[in-house]
Chain A
Amino acid sequence: MWPRIQYYCPCMSGSNLQTPPPPTLTSSSASFHPLHNLYFCEECDAVRCNRCVSVEVSGYYCPNCLFEVPSASVRAEKNRCARNCFSCPICRSTLSVVASDPPDDGDGRPSASLGNVGEAPYFLYCGHCRWDSAEVNITFEKPTGLAAQLQKFEDSAPESLEFERLKEHFEPFLRTSSLTSSSHLPAMSSHHLHPSSATAAASAALARDIPGVGKYNPLARSRAGRDRTANKDEMPEYKSRVETAVFSQLGGGGDDADVDLLRHMETVEEVAKLEQRWGNSWTTPPRSSDLRPHRIPLHSKVSKRCPACRHILIKPEQKAQSVRYKIKLVAANYLPAITVGFPQTGATKRMAGKVPSSGTDAKSGIMHAGTSNPFQLALTNPLYDPIQVRLSPQRVADGRSYQVSLPTSPFSVAAFAEAWEYDDDEDMFGVEDDELGIGTDTGRSVRDKAPRGRLKNVGILERKANVTVVGGEVNIKPGFKGNVKFNMMVSYTYRSDDPLPSEDGVGTPSRTTKVPEVKTFSFYTAVDLGSSMVSNDDKPADV
């Protein structure tokens, strides 16, 4: 978990590049994201996150049979898979269709009919909890088109029928009122002195969808008085064909029956859990043994747009299971990737002495309170141009906790080139750890590096390919408890004078402009170094 670094998206604050909240506040975590979750809008030159992008559905598919459902039929099929995909009412895993066992012909051996696919009736079977649909009397004559066969049950439910009748009843009225509302609603919103577009749109939608609401709208009361005669259309009264009392009975019997049911209950599992019931549209029986299988809800592929300029940041390929994108503007292709770590020196060695499994990076608490602790930041440049980076950690609010020192002067990170990746791919023998830059001898040289690292903790430690490692120090005051966190502003300057035409493919950092130009971009990060060891041997409590 620690150490880690997260990147700031300014969408929660008012203006761009406002100072982010101090990382010690719990609420600040909402503004910081891992780099790979962020997007980058080239038009606005800004970082965008999942919280602020606007999302559009670009396609629907069933997560089980992976069938791509045309959006026209999504509504008709009620957002669920209309093929053979069902989820178990008990554990919600996918059900499979199985055939009945062939009749036993007495000799205990599989009969000849086993050579065939199987026998009717077919039923649904859960491979996880062993529920099967014969328990609720659902069997099928043939193993195909099961959704259509089950749809009959669904559509004949009294609630479903009632809903259909209601829709039918309101349909003509909605059609006429949508015509009239489109003519009079703009006038209504212009009446209002401070029309916020959101409330106007909401009230317009409300007035359109629910007839008669317009006249109760306080914003438009004066206007509605005049509209009343026009709006109060000749809406015939709706008469339900089902008594309301009937609905309360549908679940399993109403009050007395429920009490009776509970009285004879022996285990908790007999009652359907909330989780098992709330995916249902209609009333569900309280007994878990009465639950019925669901068709599997569809998933969607989404494209994402910048909230400010509406440019597309993410546009997936049409095919549902493709992981490629026609447009993919992710922040990892624009901002230098930063990883935080501790040098393989004293502290880790001491930890390694105590904990046998020293192979993994120290998880927590390798820093000591009361001394200065070195740490490292490795910056990786994703651009095809070299960049100049300047790190400016923000001062921690209260001086009693810890102080961070990092190199203040700008340093360069070399350009990214495919060739390095290629090298990495092919020279597999004797490739040493890139980022540590250990000499030819592994193992021992890790330790040899220790004195060197100690001599210059703060400063540029190493450059290799498009990675530059800088060292920093955090001075923890004695008695400080909790995680060492600080915000850090990273500014980088890049020259965009690349004469080569930029490759337009997915995921290539295309930062080229016509004129050679120096640009600077700044972003904030939050570095969490984990907690410090309170004393030499005590582990911190809040790991």
Chain B
Amino acid sequence: MDALVYYSKAEFIETDTGNKVSRRATIAGPQNIILGGKTIISSGAIIRGDLRRTGPGHAVVVSLGRYCLVGDGCIMRPPYKTYRGNFNYYPMKIGDHVHIGANSVIEAATIGNHVIIGKNCIVGKFTIIKDCAQVADNTVIPPNAVIPALALFAGSPGRFVEDLPESTQEMVEAQTKQYYTRFQPLDR
């Protein structure tokens, strides 16, 4: 019974696989970005696919799974470090059914499936978020943190708050699918 979420048809590009990408989002280096299908990139989001690993050949920088949502004004930036004297960017992999709230900054290395990240969060470099974990609104996850499966993290620095219910996976899956169906164009 949730209300539909309308977007203006002119603003979004819809791909064959059902991805909906706002024209107002900044997609740098699109050839290095993979969207799994039915993923929504909201307006104002910035995805830095141009920050690729040095070296020859094709490199996937940011990959998102199916039914993901990158909220308004989100910044997705691959993590970087200097290892053995060489500065390098490292790929960012995000699973299926991942929702990222508005104005969050993501520099994680890996985000599992069925993960929900709230609004105004900062997820530090090389963070690993396992399946079905959740990050509350306004949380700051320090670099190199690990969020175990089915854990809720909140605060600054983000810390373990509680274990999520066993049915989290089904709930998040239903929620993300439903959001995609509710996200409908409005001709105007």
Contact = CB atoms under 8 A, between A and B. Distances in A.
Interface string B153-181: 00011111000011111110000010011
Contacts of A360: 3
Contact of A433 (B131, B170, B181): B181
Given A115-B85, A442-B186, A93 B130 contact: no
Contact of B148 (A66, A91, A114): A66
Contacts of B157: 91-93, 128-129
Contacts of A155: none
Interface on chain A toward B: helix, strand, loop, or mixed SS? loop
Interface residues of B toward A: which range?
Answer: 35 or more
A74 B3 CA distance: 50
A359 B38 CA distance: 20
Contact of B144 (A63, A94, A328): A94
Interface residues of A, number: 55
A116 B85 CA distance: 8
Contact of B166 (A64, A325, A341, A358): A325
A361 B3 contact: yes
B1 A328 contact: no
A330 B166 contact: yes
A376 B5 contact: no
Contacts of B144: 94, 96, 127
Nearest to B114: A323
B115 to A, nearest CB: 11
B181 A323 contact: no
Contacts of B143: 96, 127
Most chain A beta-carbon neighbours within 10 Å: one of B85, B114, B166:
B166
Contacts of B177: 424-425
Given A36-B171, A64-B146, A431 B181 contact: yes
A332 B181 contact: no
Contacts of A436: 1, 4
A96 B151 CA distance: 21
Given A314-B166, A433-B182, A469 B1 contact: yes
Contacts of B58: none
Interface on chain B toward A: helix, strand, loop, or mixed SS? loop
A127 B84 CA distance: 20
A435 interface: yes
Contact of B167 (A117, A330, A443): A330
B177 to A, nearest CB: 7
Interface in B1-26: 1-6, 18
Most chain A beta-carbon neighbours within 10 Å: one of B3, B38, B170, B177:
B3
A37 interface: yes
A117 B167 CA distance: 43
A381 to B, nearest CB: 14
B121 interface: no
Contact of B160 (A37, A63, A332, A425): A63
Contacts of B54: none
B156 to A, nearest CB: 8
B149 interface: yes
Contacts of A92: 157, 159
A507 B5 CA distance: 30
Given A321-B130, A359-B6, A361-B2, A63 B151 contact: yes
Nearest to B148: A63
Interface string A405-428: 000000000000000000011001
Contacts of A129: 157
A93 B146 CA distance: 10
Interface of A: 36-37, 61, 63-66, 91-94, 96, 110, 114-117, 126-129, 299, 314, 320-323, 325, 328, 330, 332, 339-341, 344, 358-361, 376, 378, 424-425, 428, 431-436, 442-443, 446, 469, 507
8 contacts: A92-B157, A115-B84, A115-B85, A127-B142, A127-B145, A425-B177, A434-B181, A507-B170
Interface of B: 1-6, 18, 38, 84-85, 114, 124, 130-132, 140, 142-146, 148-151, 156-160, 165-171, 177, 180-182, 184, 186
Given A94-B145, A94-B146, A321-B148, 10 more contacts: A36-B165, A94-B144, A114-B85, A128-B140, A128-B156, A323-B132, A323-B150, A332-B167, A361-B3, A433-B4
